[in-house]
Structure 1
Amino acid sequence: MKQSVMEEATKPLLEQYEKGDFFFSSPTKTLLGKGKVKEVPFTERNEIPSTVKELLHNAKQQGYERPIAVGAIPFLPSQSSKLIIPEHVHIEETEKVKEHDFSNEDIQYEVRSFPSGEEYEEGVKAGLQSIREGEINKIVLARSLLVSASKAINVPELLYKLASKNQHGYTFAANVSDEVDNKTLVGASPELLIAKRGNQIVSNPLAGSRPRSKDPIEDKRRSEELLSSEKDLYEHAFVVQEITRALKPYCKNLHVPEKPELLHTETMWHLSTVITGEVADDSISSLDLAHVLHPTPAVCGTPTEQARQKIQDIEPFDRSFFTGTVGWCDENGDGEWIVTIRCAEVLEESLRLFAGAGIVEGSIPSEERAETAAKFKTMLRAMGINEEEKE
């Protein structure tokens, strides 16, 4: 009898990760997938949950006692997901990541912004014009950093550094290679799209942000200002309302706090609302719910289709898996799916980083640009890069 899940490991799963594996760590559980039983074929976005359910059932019939589907889903529904059923899945409780000394090999990096900062601000202005004309209510606009390295990038080391600096978030690595490039999607997201265990669900949308400050007094001032900001509270309420509306048809009950709280990462303050509930039908899977929610207004805008089209008109690059979702789902429908932010696509000697900001009436282009710069720091610091990007 084949065994898909092995609970015990000789060393922490983070240290067992090798490039090409699937790694996913939440505040409570760490999952490592190795090998591949089956790859989920390209299908229409709305057919992915049922296709995965069928493949998990088939894997169970083949002797895999606890098959799990893992992987990444891109931002655009027209693009192919990268979901597989691993040959082996190791699961353990998440533990604090110990400090680790890596080799001090000198790697030189060249960092370039695409679009440039000025071009990004022009894009924000175009988004604001669409809002004023009533085409959309909110739009999330992103930019990317193109990073060239002097030698091959050590993906396991980068993943370890991300995990050590983001102990309370979601650290991930997924093989998203295509016919042309050997790519790994790696990142440390603070945002939970949906988690399901039994009939209980949790969603933790984030919208409204401020960069952290090294000065404790200034850092506190920024957090308090965010918590009282009319513009940011408006933006956050938009996201919470849409997620609540999307989840209601699938739930017996939902608990939605009246006001957001503050959540902090190493680099950012966020407005955060933890939505909890109970599904009406136990057969509804975490992937079903992820499909219903993705993309949220926190990464796209509202109305969704109009905002998504406007993003494609304004942004001069392909988001690919950025602002998609990464996670896992087992045969019982339990699973966790996070919003793919604070991430990079890693090639052999280059990376492409992404960061975005929510644009609503009252947004100031220069401030939105500064917000994206602060969000880039999660990945840049893990790489040991402190320089500003070149325009």
Structure 2
Amino acid sequence: MDGFVLSRPDHSVLTRGVRRSFDCARAAADALSDGSARLIVGALPFDPSAPTALYEPAHATVTNGPWSPETVGDLPVTRAVREIPSSAEHLLRVEKLIDRLRNRELDKVVSARTVELLAESPISPTALAARMAALNPAATTFSVDLSAAGAGFVGHSLVGATPEVLVSRRGTVVTCRPLAGTARRGTSPESDRDAGTSLLHSTKNLAEHAFVTAWIREILEPLCSDLSVPTTPELTSTHEVWHLASPIRGILRDPTTSALGLAIALHPTPALCGTPTDAALDVIRDIEEPRRFYGGAVGWCDGDGDGDWVVAIRCAEISADGLTAWASAGGGIVAESDPQDELDETTTKLRTLLTALGVRKTN
């Protein structure tokens, strides 16, 4: 494994080596609070009941500005070999979920699918992260060793370029920027502008976004004073899609609450799971293959409690030998969703990772 990387436009955290690892988030948070660890990096899985991949690094470097490696190897020829589930099966899943939503079993649920990739030679996590950083300069690029999660993850890595910040903490200031509500970008300036405007006024997408901001408010109000949650979202974009975003800010009531503690409290948000959270999580466990670390969170937290945790989307898990990778994408389903639109949304989101690897098709 090449080491931990989390690169944001304004700063980067790079680490090498492992002093000790934690498969439990609370144990890692306790190590920070009692002073036995000065820095924790790694990943939280999508399912909070699964083992984490957190560790105290042996060496760490924090720099201003984005990460820019001096030398990067080439990426191998890679092809998509399997969809999990198939496109047809995903459509059927979404149709069944819409029926359950219309029966008011829950308000929103996120449905995801995965593309399995085979490479002709090993994929270097560092090379892939560097490629994704170059293609997505406004995103947060990450590469993290998943070995701490135990059997089935030893030597595996998670690499991505996410547009979504779960939570950041600096001193007593807490910020979040959830994304929920998506539209494919247009192919001309006019159609692109129209796509963004349509998203900003979409009843379905505004409702989906409101579930997320309401839930974050519920979690943060006991923890923060002067909590600011916008009443309406703003537009933000990646190369592939428009998103609805809400910048949220608050001041910690208890200054000992760490960035990792906040991440544990907030994850998984309705943006990646659904509403109500427990009901949506049960549905996802029942109908989907395990998401592993897709839809989880990647980040760092230091001994002062400061840190950044981003949502693990637009990413892939890479096998220990580097020859297989799994890229996943999901979309929020509400009662007004259209199955084909939801399938198309996942295809569009997958392009961030597939483009970096030079994969043109998902089947």
User: What TM-score results when the alignment is normalised by the length of structure 1?
Assistant: 0.87
- What's 1:216 paired with? 189
- What's 1:64 paired with? none
- What's 1:332 paired with? 304
- What's 1:125 paired with? 95
Q: CA deviation at 1:290?
A: 0.8
Question: How does 1:313-332 map onto structure 2 within 5 Å?
Answer: 313-315=286-288, 317-332=289-304
Question: 1-side partners of 2:294 and 2:123: how far apart?
Answer: 20
Contact in 2 for aligned 1:97/1:167 (Cα 8 Å):
no
Question: 1-side partners of 2:15 and 2:159: how far apart?
Answer: 15
1:140 to 103, 106, 110: 110
Number of corresponding residues = 358
Question: How does 1:121-200 map onto structure 2 within 5 Å?
Answer: 121-177=91-147, 178-180=150-152, 181-200=154-173
Question: 2-side partners of 1:319 and 1:187: how far apart?
Answer: 15
Tell me, which stretches of 5 or more residues in structure 1 are unaligned?
1-18, 60-66
Contact in 1 for aligned 2:316/2:326 (Cα 8 Å):
yes
1:33 to 8, 15, 36: 15
Task: Encode CA deviations 1:136-194: one digit per residue, 9 max, x unaligned.
Answer: 11000000000111221122211111001111111100001344452110001111110
The one-letter code sitting in structure 2 at the alignment partner of 1:150 is E
Tell me, which stretches of 5 or more residues in structure 2 are unaligned?
none
Contact in 2 for aligned 1:99/1:164 (Cα 8 Å):
no
Q: Does 1:302 align with 2:275?
A: yes
Task: Assess, with a 3 A threshold, how the Cα gap between structure 1 residues 274 and 49 changes in structure 2: closer, same or farther.
Answer: farther
Task: Encode CA deviations 1:83-137: one digit per residue, 9 max, x unaligned.
Answer: 111111001011485999965x762523321101110011111111211122111
1:57 to 35, 42, 45: 35
State the secondary structure of the residue aligned to 2:222: helix
Q: CA deviation at 1:318?
A: 1.1
Task: Assess, with a 3 A threshold, how the Cα gap between structure 1 residues 176 and 95 changes in structure 2: closer, same or farther.
Answer: closer
1:371 to 345, 355, 363: 345
Question: How does 1:232-311 map onto structure 2 within 5 Å?
Answer: 232-311=205-284
- What's 1:16 paired with? none
Question: 1-side partners of 2:219 and 2:354: how far apart?
Answer: 35
Contact in 1 for aligned 2:7/2:67 (Cα 8 Å):
no
- What's 2:326 paired with? 352
The one-letter code sitting in structure 2 at the alignment partner of 1:366 is Q
Contact in 2 for aligned 1:97/1:164 (Cα 8 Å):
no
The one-letter code sitting in structure 2 at the alignment partner of 1:25 is S
Question: 2-side partners of 1:111 and 1:91: how far apart?
Answer: 38
The one-letter code sitting in structure 2 at the alignment partner of 1:91 is V
State the secondary structure of the residue aligned to 1:57: coil
User: What TM-score results when the alignment is normalised by the length of structure 2?
Assistant: 0.94
RMSD value, Cα: 1.9
Q: CA deviation at 1:51?
A: 2.6
Q: CA deviation at 1:253?
A: 1.3
